[in-house]
Amino acid sequence: AQDCQVSNIPVKEDFDKYRLQGTWYAVAKKDPSGLFLLDNVAATYKVDIDGRMTASAYGRVIILNNWETCAIMFASFEETPDPAKFKLKYWGAATYLQSGYDDHWVIDTDYDNYAVHYACRELDTDGTCLDGYSFIFSRHPNGLRPEDQIIVTQKKQEICLLGKYRRVAHNGFCDA
């Protein structure tokens, strides 16, 4: 059991940003309020020569409630004393896309198959998360291996979001 205090959420120990590099496909997502990225979501992480982690991402979005497009997004990650906890600055390739500054925590990854990312945007008065989002990423667009699903389910529980995810489809909408 756990108390669901955001400050007590365990993150990946000795996180290695270099091994996270490359492309990840979102296979499940817990949405924040005012969700943005709908499906066909993928992110490619890089560490630049200065050691700074950056990412580019894409995903299907609906702008102004009726216009569907593929958003191209950019992100830079500011480091904090915990190597698995970042501040994520993100913006769109086009001005009408979302931008923001979120906490961005790597909860768990084996670097080769699965990754669980978590962001709490707003804390409740009791220290639990009032508004946040989470991505389950896979190295493969078709999903996670059964052995990874077991670990990911455990992690969803540890971040108090078990049952709050939806599947993220990949149907080629954002393919070049």
Q: How many residues in the shown chain lie near ligand DAO by CB under 6 A?
A: 13
Residue 38 CB, nearest approach to ligand DAO (Å): 8
Q: In sequence order, which residues have a C-beta less than 8 Å from that of residue 169 and are 6 or more positions away?
A: 39, 40
37 in contact with ligand DAO (CB under 6 A): yes
Task: Considering the complex, state which of residue 2 and residue 80 has its C-beta at the smaller distance from ligand DAO.
Answer: 80
Cβ–Cβ < 8 Å for 131, 121: yes
Q: How many whole angstroms separate alpha carbon 120 and alpha carbon 130?
A: 8
- Piece in contact with ligand DAO (CB under 6 A), picked from 13-21, 30-38, 122-130, 161-169: 30-38
Cα–Cα distances in angstroms (integers) from residue 53 to residues 23, 98, 111, 136, in the given order? 13, 20, 15, 19
Cβ–Cβ < 8 Å for 129, 139: no
Q: Which of residues 59-118 bind ligand DAO (CB under 6 A)?
A: 73, 75, 90
Q: Which of residues 117-136 bind ligand DAO (CB under 6 A)?
A: 133, 135
Task: Return residues touching ligand DAO (CB under 6 A).
Answer: 31-32, 35-37, 43, 55, 57, 73, 75, 90, 133, 135
